[in-house]
Amino acid sequence: MAGLPRRITKETQRLLSEPVQGISATPDENNLRYFHVTINGPKDSPFEGGVFKLELFLPEEYPMAAPKVRFNTKIYHPNIDKIGRICLDILKDKWSPALQVRTVLLSIQALLSAPNPDDPLANDVADNWKRNEAAAIKTAREWTQKYAMSGGQ
Amino acid sequence: MGNCFGSEEDVDDISLLRNEESSDDDELRYPPPYMPPYQSDQGEQSQTIYHLSPGQSRTANELTEEEKVRVAQREGLIDHLPRNTWDENHVTNKKVRECCICMIDFEQDEPIRYLPCMHYYHLDCIDDWLMRSFTCPTCMEPVDAALLLSYDSQNLDSG
């Protein structure tokens, strides 16, 4: 593999020296393009109190192509499917090389605060979210407790 | 948003790392059908790779006629965008000194390119991006609309 681009080194240093509140991103010791990420469930969301694990990979083309990100912790969210894939425009057609690992993770954190059932990835979850929001939020809270709190998987 | 259903790839339960390795396999499975003799001693690295959109890359041999036209048109449009060289003597404190694509500071006499929105980048950095998406990375303004407008006003001026 070619050497690590300066940009990735710089981003990693800045992520470690000026961390974002509620988010951690640590490069893997064997692959500096692969990050172990945690995002704390935002306050006043059904994910509050949960710590969600994600994996983030910077492909060879980065920053010309978006990072690949997915949830490793199970989550009940209309824009995240059962294997953790995320429906977020900046990870697809709205990617720009001016965006960074930091901004991507902030956007994912914002997505947890503002689920968007009109642009679903997990169809069944989105249907429930639209049909009975209170019940969906309750399920999301239960999943957070079960999978994203200490003792959960 | 709204394109997530169309992009159901075969990611399934594999991790991102293993997924990346399998895409290398794909490249091995689809060798370029014909390698011109003048490139044969330099191996695959020397082939120009064209990026039709972020994440979509092909060698010249793999482009369809239609795509070749698109690439040529795009290269022509990029050529019309103003370029300059970085001059430390004309830098004010407010000016951005770092190219936000590569995150490296501009150095004296380095070639830079301005977009119609007045955002600027290293020439090589922005040209690489514009081949994939004709938008400004910073403000996301489409570049071609502004460019066409400036063409129109030039035509009006001359006529």
Cis omega (within 30 of 0) on the bond before A27? Answer: no
Cα gap B49→B16, rounded to integer Å: 24
Inter-chain residue contact B12 with A83, CB threshold 8 Å: yes
Predicted pLDDT of residue A103:
96
Q: Of the given ranges (A100-114, B12-26, B45-59, B112-126), which has the lowest mean pLDDT?
A: B12-26
Residue tagged 């994440």 (tokens): B55
Q: Where are any strands of DSSP class E within A30-138? A: 34-40, 51-57, 68-71
Give residue-wise pLDDT tens across range A18-62: 999 999 999 999 999 999 999 999 999 999 999 999 999 999 999
Inter-chain residue contact A59 with B20, CB threshold 8 Å: yes
- For chain B, the residues whose C-beta falls within 8 A of a C-beta of chain A are 1-5, 7, 11-13, 15-17, 19-20, 51, 54-55, 57, 100-104, 125, 128-129, 132-133, 135, 137-138, 140
Residue B158 has pLDDT above 50, yes or no: no
Residue B14 has pLDDT above 70, yes or no: no
Query: For chains A and B, what is the number of CB pairs under 8 angstroms?
Result: 81
Cβ proximity of B132 and A64 under 8 Å: yes
Mean pLDDT of chain B: 73
Backbone angles phi, psi at B94, to 5 degrees: -75, -20
Inter-chain residue contact B101 with A94, CB threshold 8 Å: no
| Chain A residues close to B15, C-beta within 8 Å | 55
Residue tagged 């514009």 (tokens): B130
Predicted pLDDT of residue B94:
65
Cβ proximity of B50 and B59 under 8 Å: yes
pLDDT, average across residues B1-10: 50
Query: Is A6-147 a CATH 3.10.110.10 domain?
Result: yes
Mutation site for A-interface testing, chosen from B5, B12, B16 by largest number of A Cβ within 10 Å: B16
Predicted pLDDT of residue B145:
60
Predicted pLDDT of residue A122:
74
Predicted pLDDT of residue A17:
94
Residue B2 has pLDDT above 60, yes or no: no
Q: What torsion, rounded to 10 degrees, do the Cα atoms A85, B129, A101, B145 define?
A: -80
pLDDT, average across residues B133-147: 83
Q: Which residue positions in chain A have pLDDT lower than 70?
A: 1-2, 151-153
Inter-chain residue contact A92 with B57, CB threshold 8 Å: no
Residue B23 has pLDDT above 50, yes or no: no
Predicted pLDDT of residue B10:
44
| Chain B residues close to A65, C-beta within 8 Å | 54-55
More confident residue, B97 or B54: B97
| Chain A residues close to B3, C-beta within 8 Å | 89, 92-93
| Chain B residues close to A34, C-beta within 8 Å | 16-17
Assess A95–B contact: CB distance below 8 Å, yes or no: yes
Predicted pLDDT of residue B142:
87
Residue tagged 């960074």 (tokens): A100
Assess A61–B contact: CB distance below 8 Å, yes or no: yes
Give residue-wise pLDDT tens across range B29-80: 444 444 444 444 444 445 677 877 776 777 888 888 888 888 888 888 888 8
